Chain A
Amino acid sequence: MTSLIFKSITKTVSPILMIFSLYLLLRGHQMPGGGFIAGLMTSAGLVLIYLAYGCDFFDWHKRSRFFYYLFSGGLALSFLTGLAGLFIGGTFLKSGVAHVEMPFIHESWEFASAGIFDIGVYLVVCGVCVSLMTLLGEEE
C-alpha cells in the first residue's frame, strides 16, 4: 500500500481533509455538517496517513495514550456542557444562544452552547476511530 503515488496523494489530501473537517464542525449548527461527520472526516485523514506511512510518520503507539485522553476529554467536554446548563438554571443539557458582536468585521455571530457539545462529539469520534486503528494496527 505504501506506494509513492499513494504517499503523494495522501500528502495533499489529508491536510485538506483536516481543514475541511474543522470547517464542517464549526458550521455544523447552521449548515450541513456537525461534530460526528467532522470527527469521521478527521479520522479518515489520519487513517490515510497511517496507511500510507505506517508507523514511520510519527510514532503512533507512543500516542495511544493521547487518543485515549482525546475521547475521554471529549466525553468530559460534552458532559460539562450539559452540566453547565444545569447550573445556569435550566435543566441538564439546556442550551443557550448568544449573539456576539465580533470585533473588526462588525458582524453579529451566533454562538450556541450546543456547539461546544458538538466539539465534544467531534473529539470522541476522532479519538475513538484513531485509537481503534492504532490498537488494531499495533499487533504488527
Chain B
Amino acid sequence: MIEWIHPALVFFATAALVPFVKGKGKSILLIGFPALAFFSLMLFPDGNYGVFTIGGFEVVFGRVDKLSRVFAYVFTLMGSVGMVYALHVKQKGQHIAALIYGGGALGSIFAGDLLSLFVFWEIMAFSSVFLVWYGGEKSWANGLRYLMVHTFGGLCLLGGIVIFAGQTGSIAFNAIPASGLGGWLILIGFLINAGAPPLHAWLPDAYPVGSITGTIFLSSFTTKTAVYVLARGFAGTEVLMWVGVIMALYGVVYAMLENNIRKLLAYHIISQVGFMVAGIGVGTELAINGAVAHAFAHILYKALLMMGMGSVIFMTGKRKGTELGGLYRTMPLTFGLFMVGGFSISGVPFLSGFISKSMVISGAAAAHYPFVVLLLTLAAAGTFLSTTLKLPYAVFMGEDKGIKAADPPGNMLLGMGLAAFICILLGVMPNLLYQLLPFPVDYHPYTAEHLLGSFQLLLATLLGFTLFLYKLHPENTISVDTDWVYRKGVVWFQQLKNPLQGIKVLRYKDFLQGLTLFSRQVSQRIQSGYLKHALVMIISFVMLSTLLFSLFKGWTLSLDSLMQTDLTLSQLLVFVLIISSTLATVLFKSRIAAVLSLGMTGFFVAFFYVLMGAPDLALTQYLVEAVSVILILLAFYYLPAYFEEKTAPASKMTDIAVSLLVGIVMTFYMLMVMDSHLTKSIASYYLEMSEKLAGGRNVVNVVIVDFRGFDTMFEIAVFSIAALGIFGMLKLNKKKAPIQREAALNGSLKREQIEEAVQREVTSK
C-alpha cells in the first residue's frame, strides 16, 4: 500500500530514466511524468508523510497542506509545460538537470522540517546551475558566481538552522520569529533566493545567460520556492513588506533601463517577487492569499514571457532590444502569445495577473498600509510600461531590421500556447485558483471599481508611453503622476546607473577574480618553495612556542643538576673537540671536508662513551660513523646533480638567530629534564628481569631483541625501506642506460638479449 508518492521522487525517477530513452519515449517520459506528479497531488489528503527520525531529529519529507499543495500544483504544471517547450533539446543533461531542479523545488515545498528543507534547497542550487552552464561557454563565469551566491545563502541558512535548532530544540519548519541570530540568518538565506536587493545580483547576472529552455525553469522555481518558505516561516514580518516594495520598484526601474531582452525579464522577476514578498510581509489572510495566487500566476506568465523571448533568441540569435525589431511579421504566433503574457503581468483584466496582483494590493489596502499600496501600484504601472509596451515594441514592432526569422518549432509554440491558455483560463475563471489558496477566499476581482481602476492605470501608462516615444519633449506633461515619476525617475536612475553598476561589479563579479589574485600573492609569500624558509619557520615556531608554553606554566631556570655534575679534564677535552668539529662542519665550504668533520664529531662522541664506561655503545657509534661517512662520500662522489639547489636569499642573521634559538631552547629543555625525575624508571625492571626472564645478561641487547623487539622489528624494516628507496631511485630511473637497468632488475640478461637491445638502441638513433 503506497502511503504517499512524493512528487519530487517522481521527478528524480524521471531524471534517472532519461538517459535510457529516445525519441517518442523520451517525449512521453518528459511530459508524462511531471503530469503524473501533478495528478498524484490530487490523490492524497493533507497530512504529514514520510516521517523519519535521523540523528534524534524528526525529519518530515512530505507535509501536505493547502499552502504546500498550491505551490506543488503550479510547479508540476510548470514542469510539464516547460518540458513541452524544451522537447526539441538534444542534450539530455539539460533535461536531467531541469528535472532534478524541479524535484529539489518540490522537495523544499513539502519539507516539514528545516533539515530536509536545506537538503533540497541545496539540490536545487546545484542542479539549477547546470541550466545556466548549458547556456554556453560565456555563461560559465556567471554560473560559478550564481553558485557561490547560492552556497553563501545555503550556508547562512544552515547556520541559522543550527542556531535556531539549538535554541528551540526542534527543527520543525513552522513560523520562525525574525529575531535572534538564527532567525535572521534563515531569513537572509531565504531572501537571497528570493532575489531581494542588495542580494539580488545573481539573478539578472545568471538568468539571461542560461540556456533558452533552462531559463524557463530557472525563472519558475528558485524565487517561488523562496516565496513559499517566506510565506511559511515569516508571514507577517513587517520588514518583508518594505523589502518587497523595494524589490518591486528596484526591479522595475532596472528593467526599464535594460536592453538585453532576457535581462529585462529577469529584473521583472525581482519586481514581481517583490509583490509577493510584500504580501507576505503584510501578513493578513487576504495578502498571503494574494502573494500565493500571484506566485501561481506569475510562474506561468513569466514562463510564457521567457519562452517568447527565448524563441526570439532561438530563431534570431540576437539578445538585445536595439538589435531586434519588426518581428511581428515573421513571428506572428510568438508575438501573439507573448502579448498574452505581457498583458497578464501588467494585470489586464481577464488575464491571470489581474486576479492575483490586485489581490495583493487590496490586501495591503485592507491592512491599512496606504503607502505600500501606492508604491506597488507604481511598480505595476512600470511593469506594464516596460514589459508590455517597451519590450514588445522594441522586439516585435518598431523599426524593421529585416531580420530573417520564423515562428519556432511546434513544441515551443505548444508550450507557449499551453501557458497562455492557463493564463487566460485563470483570468476568466479565477475560482479555479482561489479554491486552491491556503485561506478561504472572499474576494471578487471583477468589481466595477477594480476594473475601472486598472483600465485607468493601464491606459494612462499607455498614453504616457506613446507620448514619451513619439514626442520626445519632456515638457509634454501628462496628468498621470506615476508616469511623471517614471520619466523623471528614468533620467535620475540613468545617472545613477553607472555608479551603481560600478559598485555591483566591484562587489560581485570581480570579487572572485580578486580572491584568486589575492590567494596567489599570499600563497607565494607563504609558500616560497625554499626549503630553508620552510625549515626556519617550522623550527622557530616549534621552539618559540615550546619555550612560551613552559614559561607560562611558571618555568624557572635552575642549574642545580648542572652544578652537581663532576667534569674531569679528559671529558672536558672531548667536549671541546666535539664542539670544534661541529663548528668546522658548518664552516667548511667543501662538502667532502664537511662530511669528514661531521664524522669526526661522531668519533669524538664515541670516545666520550668510552670515557663514560660504555664500550659497546662506543663501538656501535664508531661503526655507524665509519659506514655512514663512507656512504655519504660515495653518494657525493657518484651521485649526479639531480637538482640545482634552490637557495634562498642569503641571510646569515636569520640562520644565526634560528641556530641560537634551537640551541638555547634545547639546552634549557635538557636542564629541565635533568632536574625533574618523578618516579622510579622502568629501567630498573629491565636490569632485574633481564637474566631471570629473558635469559640474557647483556641488558641492552635483551631490551633490543626481546623487551622491545617489536621496535627493532620495525627499525630493521625502516632500514630495508631506505635501501629499497635508494634502489628505486638509482635503478628504476636510469634513462641513459635502459639495458643496464633491465639487467639489474631481471637479474642478468642473456647475452643475445643484451645485444638485441643494443641493436635496437643504435637503430633507433
Contact = CB atoms under 8 A, between A and B. Distances in A.
Tell me if chains A and B make direct contact, with any CB pair below 8 A.
Answer: yes
13 contacts: A29-B701, A29-B705, A43-B627, A44-B626, A78-B713, A112-B706, A114-B709, A124-B719, A132-B722, A136-B631, A136-B635, A137-B634, A138-B730
Contacts of B702: 29, 114
Contact of B620 (A37, A74, A97, A135): A37
A129 B629 CA distance: 12
Interface in A56-95: 61-62, 64-65, 68, 71-72, 74-75, 78-79, 82, 92-93, 95
A77 to B, nearest CB: 10
Interface centre among B694, B712, B748 (most CB of A within 10 A): B712
A44 B694 contact: no
Contact of A32 (B616, B634, B717): B616
B704 A71 contact: no
Given A31-B698, A114-B702, A136 B638 contact: yes
6 smallest CB-CB distances across A and B, nearest first, come from A32-B616, A97-B695, A40-B623, A29-B696, A139-B638, A136-B634
B451 interface: no
Contact of B630 (A51, A64, A121, A124): A51
A110 interface: yes
Contacts of A128: 719-720, 722-723
B66 interface: no
A132 B720 contact: no
Contact of B631 (A65, A79, A133): A133
B701 A118 contact: yes
B368 interface: no
Nearest to A40: B623
B715 to A, nearest CB: 9
Given A29-B698, A78-B713, A82-B713, A35 B705 contact: yes
Interface in B652-706: 694-698, 700-702, 704-706
Interface string B130-148: 0000000000000000000
A114 B704 CA distance: 9
Contacts of A95: 694-695, 705-706, 709
B694 A114 contact: yes
B735 to A, nearest CB: 14
Contacts of A138: 638, 730
A115 B704 CA distance: 11
Contacts of A124: 716, 719-720
B747 interface: yes
Given A33-B698, A71-B723, A125-B716, 6 more contacts: A29-B701, A44-B626, A44-B627, A114-B702, A124-B716, A124-B719
A135 B728 CA distance: 10
B716 A131 contact: no
A73 to B, nearest CB: 11
The residue in B635, B694, B695 that gathers the most chain A C-beta atoms within 10 A of its C-beta is: B695
Contact of A34 (B640, B695, B704, B748): B704
A64 B704 CA distance: 29
B714 to A, nearest CB: 10
A35 to B, nearest CB: 7
A139 B730 CA distance: 9
B522 to A, nearest CB: 42
Interface in B567-608: none
B365 interface: no
Contacts, number: 145
A30 interface: yes
Interface of B: 615-616, 619-620, 623-624, 626-627, 630-631, 634-635, 638-640, 694-698, 700-702, 704-706, 709-710, 712-713, 716-717, 719-720, 722-723, 726-727, 730-731, 744, 747-748
Nearest to A68: B727
Contacts of A30: 696-698
B723 A34 contact: no
A22 interface: no
Q: Which of A37, A44, A61, A110 has the most CB of B within 10 A?
A: A37
Contacts of A61: 744
A37 to B, nearest CB: 5
Main secondary structure of the interface of B (DSSP, over half): helix
B268 to A, nearest CB: 75
B29 to A, nearest CB: 61
A36 B627 contact: no
B688 to A, nearest CB: 16
Contacts of A107: none
A65 B745 CA distance: 8
Contacts of B695: 29, 95, 97, 110, 112
A20 to B, nearest CB: 10
Contact of A131 (B616, B624, B709, B723): B723
Contacts of B727: 68, 131, 135
Contacts of A36: 620, 704
A62 B749 CA distance: 11
Interface in A33-51: 33-37, 40-41, 43-44, 47, 51
A129 B722 CA distance: 10
Contacts of B620: 36-37, 40
Contact of B730 (A93, A117, A135): A135
B748 A62 contact: yes
Contacts of A79: 713
A72 B698 contact: no
Contacts of A139: 638-640, 730
A95 B704 CA distance: 12
Contacts of B638: 136-140
B694 A112 contact: yes
Contacts of A97: 694-695
A74 B623 CA distance: 20
Contacts of B726: 132, 135-136
A28 interface: yes
Most buried by B among A34, A41, A64, A97: A34
Nearest to B693: A97
Nearest to A43: B627
A125 B698 contact: no
Contact of A132 (B624, B723, B731): B723
Contacts of B748: 62
B719 A71 contact: yes
B630 A114 contact: no
B701 A28 contact: yes
A26 B503 CA distance: 84
Contacts of A140: 638
A115 B36 CA distance: 80
B729 to A, nearest CB: 9
B723 A121 contact: no
Contact of B719 (A31, A64, A115, A125): A125
Given A47-B630, A129-B627, A136-B639, A75 B716 contact: yes
A120 B716 contact: yes
Contacts of A78: 712-713, 716
A64 B631 contact: no
The residue in B627, B705, B726 that gathers the most chain A C-beta atoms within 10 A of its C-beta is B705
A71 B638 CA distance: 23
Nearest to A99: B695
Given A112-B706, A120-B716, A41 B697 contact: no
